[in-house]
Amino acid sequence: MQVRFKLPAGGSGIPANMKSNHIQGELVLWCARYNYLYQDVSVSRVRGKGLVFRFKHEDIYNTFRLTWDGEEYVRY
């Protein structure tokens, strides 16, 4: 149960870092809004794939899919 966000390439990684920080900030707000712990979502940057969220519980993943209104993501 994971989703991936594409990050921009180039610019010495600065645009990718800025977008990654923005998405992670949206995740913190989303967790607070729906009463989930930020620690229940594993966030990592994977070279060539972007920013990846891995959910520890299926109910968090389902809620995320239904309620996320932030940046566009790709399921995989």
Domain range spanning residue 51? Answer: 2-75
Q: What percent of the chain has pLDDT over 90?
A: 78
Q: What is the reported pLDDT for 35?
A: 96
Name the domain count of the chain.
1
Q: What is the reported pLDDT for 70?
A: 87
Instruction: State the average pLDDT for the chain.
Output: 93
Measured over the CA atoms of residue 56, residue 71, residue 24 and residue 44, the dihedral's sign is: positive
Beta strands of 1-76 (E only): which ranges?
A: 2-5, 41-46, 50-55, 74-75
Q: What is the reported pLDDT for 47?
A: 85
pLDDT 10s digits, 10-33: 888 899 999 999 999 999 999 999
pTM of the model: 0.89
Q: What is the reported pLDDT for 26?
A: 96
